[in-house]
Structure 1
Amino acid sequence: MRRTTSPFSLVLLGLGTFLLVLAPLLAWYVQPRAAVNPIDIDTTAVYTGRGSVFDTDRIETVPGRKITVTQRVRGNVEDSERSGNAVWDVTTTVDTDKSLPAADPHDALDFTPHRWVMDRKTTRPVHCCGEKPYIEGEAYLKFPFDVQKRSYQWWDNTLGDTVVLRYQGTEKVQGYTGYKFTGSVPPTRTGTRMVPGSLVDQPERPQVLAEEWYSNHGFELVVDQATGRVIYAQTGPRRTLRAPGGKKDAAVLLDARKVSFTTATQKEAVRQAKRDSGQLRLVGTTLPVGAGVAGVVLAVVGGVLVARGRKEPEQPAPSDTSGTPQPTLTM
């Protein structure tokens, strides 16, 4: 008897070996390259709340006004491809019912255009491509991928500096669980503005270079752990004016304890977080584990079949059955 190797067993062994090689490649090579910030982003987040707003027609602060903050983020694909970074152009408008709807965002209570450039993998700020302002910190608009249970340095564009956001556990938004971070900003001088003296309790002076002050009652962000996408955001801005060298606020420009994502914005953020984190989980965990398990099984089965082989009887040497004696070769 002799053994022969079946082609089927070789196929199983080869396929199992391929899957065993593929599994770590998916986890260690493909998944990290899939976790990158997009360059063609086009998204809008809307916040609403109520608070006090300075009415320029009445020249006084009016309480109880509805406040709408609209943040539009669009990727500049050309500049992104040229630099290798994610270049996002951001516009933030603050409106009351008086300025909504506005055909021109410049008619808003406040209009702030700026550009954020970041490393596509780490989300760290990159200083190039007409970036304005000079953004620092670990996160802005979104967190890095694979969010950790620790504090992060979050860029506050109104403050012009970073704010420490501390991890506060998990919280559900529209049924989806994320990591919760909170922080606040104490009263801080952010600049100056020329205003009528009467606005800052100096009626005898026609114009005064008043001090602009900013604080924040509290940030609350809920973030998708895998992608770093913000699925809920809440802020409490307070912007005031003080007389030069003044120790107290003389005029309130904006004061709202809670301005937060609308329900529609929350639902869209959760939808995108589920989609993107699902894709990362597929190439980072599901496929590698599945490929590894299948590879082990196929390789073992194929190896066993190859080792055992298939027994076949050996063919006897041909013989003469005629009964005639065979001549003997002689010299």
Structure 2
Amino acid sequence: MKHRAIGAVLFGGGVLLLALAAGLVFVVKPAVTKLPYDLKPATSVAEAKGATFLQITNGTIAINQADLRSTVLVSPNRDLTGKLSGDLDGKAVVWTVGQTVDRTDTKELINAYGAELALDRVSGAALNWDGQWLDDTGERQRIQFTEQVYKFPFGTEKKDYKIFDRDLRADTPAKFTGTENVEGIEAYRFEQVITDQALNLDAERVKLLLGSLAPGATTGKVVYSNTRTVWVDPVTGSYLKVREVQRKNLVPDVGAPAVLLNADFSYNDETVASSVERAKESRGQLTLLGVYAPIGLALLGLLLIAGGLLLARRGAAAPVAEARHRADLPPAADPTPTRVDQPAVRDEDRPGGPLTDEIPPASTNWKSDDSTVPTQRSAPDADEAEKR
């Protein structure tokens, strides 16, 4: 009985561990493969050596050359995320993003922008949200962010994606071009190529540029090109490294084009190292919850179930064996003696002499006519009396 009770406890514990393992795989892991609400703000820095760029100082337009430093700060907006409703409630997170581009020599601000957008917590793609905006001209504009913007999906695949380009206000394809090791992580490399696309700029802004850089021109356009390469951690979808080779030209209707921007921006070493470290930490959590912990719990659960079944079988077999043992035992000795069991009695030990119980004593009241049978002699005293 004791074996059965212990076996039942072990079996129940094993089943519970198997349920926990399944819960980690099908409930906990999907819950953590999402952008968290409490994401820590992240800063990425890209640098461009010897860049050519447009600089406006106190209304004066000039084309200068220097090293540039681009800093992007991404912060989760908990207040706005908490106010999301409808299809976005629980599905999206709101990010507030800001970027500044400075000269590294004089620390002067060259340009800046800010934005707010809602991202799908699993795919990382921008969602349709009424509160999104972009400000890169000094005034907030309502635009529609689409596709991937600042990250790729959890479980990024080896296929083409689309990346939203802030200058174009639209998304264009980013082709998967292979894998590459980035400080110990096998990253997926994607390349987005934008070639000579006319930007939709305010007419007054274009006119201002023409007056300073293309005298005599009455109309013109700004043509934009960019080769954007992103190295993505396929597990978390986060950017490990980014490189953008940007070029903007003012093309007037009269005269030669003027270079407004020619820069090759790449994440610096510190940003790559911190991006890789965050990715490794997230990978470790996902691997622990999605692989190691479930496997360990499942194995332990199976061992407990097997042990419980063995103990239960042993407990069931014990009473049967005991019953068989009792059935095989000889019957208890009968205390009542039988004739066979009684000790033999010798003739000399009998109280009446030999054969006393079998043959009666001879009678003196009969005589035999048979000569073969001896007669009983009379006593001497009787003979003397007769003679007399």
Report the TM-score, using the length of structure 2 for normalisation: 0.71
Counterpart pick for 2:299 among 293, 309, 314: 293
Q: 1:259 to 1:174 in 2, by over 3 A?
A: same
Moved over 4 A (4+): 57-60
Alignment of 1:1-331 (within 5 A): 5-41=3-39, 42-50=41-49, 51-56=51-56, 59-63=61-65, 65-83=66-84, 84=89, 85-97=92-104, 100=107, 108-132=109-133, 133-137=143-147, 139-192=148-201, 193=205, 194-201=207-214, 203-204=215-216, 210-216=220-226, 218-243=227-252, 246=253, 250-256=257-263, 258-309=264-315, 311=318, 313=322
Distance in 1 between the 2:125 and 2:209 partners? 41
Q: 1:79 to 1:197 in 2, by over 3 A?
A: closer
AA aligned opposite 1:172: N
Relative to total residues, which structure has the larger strand share, 1 or 2?
1
Distance in 1 between the 2:278 and 2:256 partners? 42
Q: How many residues align?
A: 302
Distance in 1 between the 2:195 and 2:307 partners? 67
Distance in 1 between the 2:287 and 2:149 partners? 24
Distance in 2 between the 1:251 and 1:66 partners? 20
Task: Judge which range, 232-241 or 190-199, deviates more.
Answer: 190-199
Q: 1:190 to 1:167 in 2, by over 3 A?
A: same
Distance in 2 between the 1:214 and 1:276 partners? 36
1:159 Cα deviation (Å)? 2.1
Task: Judge which range, 87-96 or 187-196, deviates more.
Answer: 187-196
Judge conservation of contact 1:195–1:209 (CA < 8 Å) in 2.
no
1:282 Cα deviation (Å)? 1.3
Distance in 1 between the 2:28 and 2:209 partners? 60
**What are the superposed Cα offsets for residues 184-221 of structure 1, whole Å, 9 maximum, x if unpaired?**
111111123231544343x246xx564222111x2221
Distance in 2 between the 1:241 and 1:99 partners? 26
1:269 Cα deviation (Å)? 0.6
**What are the superposed Cα offsets for residues 95-144 of structure 1, whole Å, 9 maximum, x if unpaired?**
223552x6xxxxx211111112112123232222511231112x111101
Give the structure 1 partner of residue 386 of structure 2: none
Q: 1:116 to 1:304 in 2, by over 3 A?
A: same
AA aligned opposite 1:62: N
Distance in 2 between the 1:234 and 1:251 partners? 24
AA aligned opposite 1:164: P
Larger Rg: 2
Distance in 2 between the 1:9 and 1:123 partners? 49
AA aligned opposite 1:291: L
Give the structure 2 partner of residue 105 of structure 1: none
Distance in 1 between the 2:23 and 2:295 partners? 11
Distance in 2 between the 1:176 and 1:165 partners? 21
Report the TM-score, using the length of structure 1 for normalisation: 0.83
Q: Could you list the runs of 5+ residues in structure 1 that have no partner in the other structure? A: 103-107, 317-322, 324-331
1:235 Cα deviation (Å)? 0.7
Q: 1:15 to 1:209 in 2, by over 3 A?
A: farther
Distance in 2 between the 1:35 and 1:247 partners? 55
1:59 Cα deviation (Å)? 4.5
Judge conservation of contact 2:244–2:266 (CA < 8 Å) in 1.
yes
Structure scoring higher RCO (CA < 8 A, sep ≥ 6) equals: 1
Distance in 1 between the 2:165 and 2:198 partners? 14
Q: 1:282 to 1:70 in 2, by over 3 A?
A: same
AA aligned opposite 2:73: R
1:36 Cα deviation (Å)? 1.1
Judge conservation of contact 2:117–2:129 (CA < 8 Å) in 1.
no
Q: 1:4 to 1:219 in 2, by over 3 A?
A: same
**What secondary structure does 2:199 align onto?**
strand
Q: Could you list the runs of 5+ residues in structure 2 that have no partner in the other structure? A: 134-142, 327-334, 336-388
Judge conservation of contact 2:55–2:110 (CA < 8 Å) in 1.
no
Relative to total residues, which structure has the larger helix share, 1 or 2?
2
Give the structure 1 partner of residue 339 of structure 2: none
Distance in 2 between the 1:249 and 1:260 partners? 30
Give the structure 1 partner of residue 330 of structure 2: none
Judge conservation of contact 1:122–1:144 (CA < 8 Å) in 2.
yes
